[in-house]
Amino acid sequence: MFTRTRLRLTLLYIALFSLVLGLFSAVFYVGVATALAPTFDLGPELTNEQAAAVAYRATVDQVALALVIADIAMIAIVAVAAWILASRTLRPISEAHARQRRFVADASHEMRTPLAAIRASAEGALAGPESADALRRALESVIASTEDLSRLTDDLLLLARADELPLDARRRSIDLSVVVAETLEAFAVAHRGPSRVIATLAPGLVVAADPDEVARIVANLVDNACRHGSGGVERPRVITRPDERDAVVEVIDDGPGIAAADLERVFAPFARLHPDAGAPEGNGLGLAIARSLARRNDGHLTVTSRPGAGSTFRLTLPRLR
């Protein structure tokens, strides 16, 4: 599709330039032909009108040939330039289209798993007479799969809306360390146990941001650190600190680390660096959502890591004071 569009744009550029160049050439040709018309004698005794006409025709033919050669050369140059310009014009659209296709394909693939579980549970329950316990287990499986599908749908909607311009009404001055502390407390409650994270929080880190979105970023980073940690004695660490004019949140884990070639790929939707049976569960949207929300709040989310040495995810937000 994009090749055809690129070709159409190139042909349009060539046609427009050819039209303009053709009009210019016609006007130039008429002007030259009029200026060189033989309307004079060479001498008072002997006119040489015929010789002047031959010279005129030869001159006009040479001018016409020069114009044709120049036109062909200019059209060729414009054709190459138009092809390059069309390619550059369509490249962002082509890349966006390719990302959209991958996103839709990955989302469809992720949705198939809970849908298949729902269908299998329902068909099993309808296949024949079952005990009350079996029917209950089937319904519980349907509910669990429905919850997975609902979470995936919510994440997809959040990621799709994260590129929208932030609403100023939702932004306000917040203490970043307070938001992080509340998020870690809610994370511990949700996981029904003591805190799995070591927190070192600096006071007075005031930023202008949406507190709910900042909390979602931190929660996603902490969840990622807990799921990808080595499970050893060292627990994930969360640090807040000032950095010149910015406020920084660092989430540090002791996981397997990330290769240099994959440092940006981890933020792509549905990215999984180790898609094997032993990989942590998840739909691969957490880091993509976190980066999109960081940009939405005028911040940056980056990662530094090396294989075997864990990873450090760093959220940077402009500090108000």
Cα distances (Å, whole numbers) of residue 301 to 31, 128, 211, 214, 315: 65, 53, 16, 11, 5
Q: What is the pLDDT of residue 34?
A: 65
Q: What is the pLDDT of residue 306?
A: 84
Q: What is the pLDDT of residue 87?
A: 79
Q: What is the pLDDT of residue 283?
A: 64
pTM here?
0.61
DSSP sequence for 6-44: HHHHHHHHHHHHHHHHHHHHHHHHHHHHHHT---S-S-S
Region of 110 please: left (phi>0), alpha (psi -120 to 50) or beta.
alpha
For residue 236, what are the contacts with CB-CB under 8 A and spacing of at least 6? 196, 197, 198, 222, 225, 226, 229, 251, 252, 253, 254
170-221: per-residue pLDDT in tens?
788 999 999 999 999 888 887 765 567 888 999 989 999 989 889 999 998 9
Q: What is the pLDDT of residue 218?
A: 93
Give all domains of the chain, ordered by start, each with its CATH number: 1-161 (1.10.287.130), 168-318 (3.30.565.10)
Q: What is the pLDDT of residue 277?
A: 44
Q: Which residues of the chain have pLDDT under 50?
A: 46, 233, 277
Q: What is the pLDDT of residue 308?
A: 81
